[in-house]
Every structure is written in structure tokens, then in C-alpha cells.
Amino acid sequence: MEEDPEKRFHSIMDKLLNAPSKSLTNPSSPVSCGVIQIPSPSRGKKRDNPESALALVEPTDKTRVRAEPVSSADAPLCRPWDRGDLMRRLATYKSMTWFAKPKVVSSVNCARRGWINLDIDIIACEACGTLEKAALVFSLKLDNGHKLLCPWIDNTCDERLAEFLPLHLKF
């Protein structure tokens, strides 16, 4: 009894797409590295002031990172050769949360190295869960990034120099 080719095609596709995933024990299979949980967007909450002293303290309970070992079924795979994984990481970067960064920390360069964008200027490694705050890292480099004998070390301009002068006092 001959089956309709279209039904046969759909049957085969259903079997392929709905097949249960099996864990691989092949030694050449990718190594699972870890898992992070992405926080839900905070709607209706007031954002922290990035200039306050509390902004330098690590956030409490904003992002939970798993440090304990996870089963290989739950862990994302470290697959630097997989374009789909790269595109998935790259899709986490939005202009509202990762904007005007130097080329070395562009969204593409970060995603190529396994980082995903969690929030404004915050990235996390999708495998090990390490969090990096771009503003904090860059702010530390403002003072510590100079060469040993640079005259700018501990020689910051007064903040009043950056203020705008009233129009009647301009030179």
C-alpha cells in the first residue's frame, strides 16, 4: 500500500524535529562548561544611580550564577565553531544595553568570546557565569591605566573645570 508522498514527508519531518535528544558520550563531543540564569527584566523598578557609592558594590540577588556542577543536559555547550550559538549570544546585545563601546569590546567581539549581554553595561560568560560591569572595569582603568611615569597619575583636574560657565562670565 503506497502512502501519499506529502504525508510521508511530514511524518519524517515530525520524527526528526520531535526526536528526544540523547546525551552524547563520544569523546570528541563538545565539553559542557556551566550555566547562568538570566535575570528577568526589571519593569517598574527604579534604576540604581550609577554615580552613587553603592554602584561600586556588587549587586545582591540581581543575577544568580550557578557555581555548583550541573548535569550535561542542563549546561550550554562551549562551541566556538557554531554560528547559531554565536548568533544567539549576539542577539542578547541591544543598542539600549550595550551602546558606543570601543571596537575591542563591541558586541560581536564579546559574543565571539562567549559573553552575553544581561543589562546595561553588564555582560556574563554563558558557560562559567562570570559577570563583568563595563563601566566599573573602564573606570578602574582611568586611574590605573597610565604608564609608570605618566604625569596624570593621581593628578586629576578639579571637577569645577568641567562645569559650564554662565554666559555672562565667558571669556
Check the CA dihedral 109-113-114-117 and report its sign.
negative
Fold classification of 82-147 is Inhibitor Of Apoptosis Protein (2mihbC-IAP-1); Chain A (1.10.1170)
Beta-carbon neighbour count of residue 86 at 10 Å?
16
- Rounded Cα–Cα distance for residues 47 and 55 (Å): 11
What pTM was estimated for this model as a whole? 0.47
Higher pLDDT, 139 or 100: 100
pLDDT tens digits for range 8-67: 877 777 776 665 544 444 444 444 444 455 554 445 455 555 554 444 444 444 443 333
Instruction: Summarize the confidence of residues 110-114 as an average pLDDT.
Output: 91
Domain boundaries, the chain: 82-147
Beta-carbon neighbour count of residue 125 at 10 Å?
19
Place 136 in a pLDDT band, splitting at 50, 70 and 90. confident
- Rounded Cα–Cα distance for residues 23 and 49 (Å): 45
